[in-house]
Amino acid sequence: KVQLLIHVGIDTVTLQGHGFISHVKPGMTIRKGETLLSFDAAYLASQGKAATVVIIVTNLEDIHGCITKNLENKSAVLKISYK
């Protein structure tokens, strides 16, 4: 299993969740291709917030390799291989 911490935006905590939809809950098992999070980039911009996305793999000791991709292409963001 891979454990992820996903943070969207800079200083977006002040929005108190407005503009974000979480499609999963902590501890859930997800499958390849499932949507984890949606956010309204236009709303973030209207509030003066950048839509920077940070994804952190929190259990790297269990992972053999991790390849990241640019979000602009709207395909897979991470490719994980296990030990």
41 φ/ψ angles, rounded to the nearest 5 degrees: -60, -35
pLDDT at 18: 96
Tokens in use for 67? Answer: 């390849």
Q: Which has the higher per-residue pLDDT, 53 or 46?
A: 46
Closest CA to 65 of 53, 52, 83, 48: 83
Q: Which has the higher per-residue pLDDT, 59 or 46?
A: 46
Q: Which has the higher per-residue pLDDT, 64 or 28?
A: 28
Instruction: Show which residues are catalytic.
Output: 7
Rounded CA separation 42/3 (Å) = 29
With cut-offs at 50, 70 and 90, classify the pLDDT of residue 33: confident
Q: Is pLDDT at 58 greater than 90 in this prediction?
A: no
67 φ/ψ angles, rounded to the nearest 5 degrees: -115, 130
Q: What angle do CA 60, 81, 63 make, to 5 degrees?
A: 15
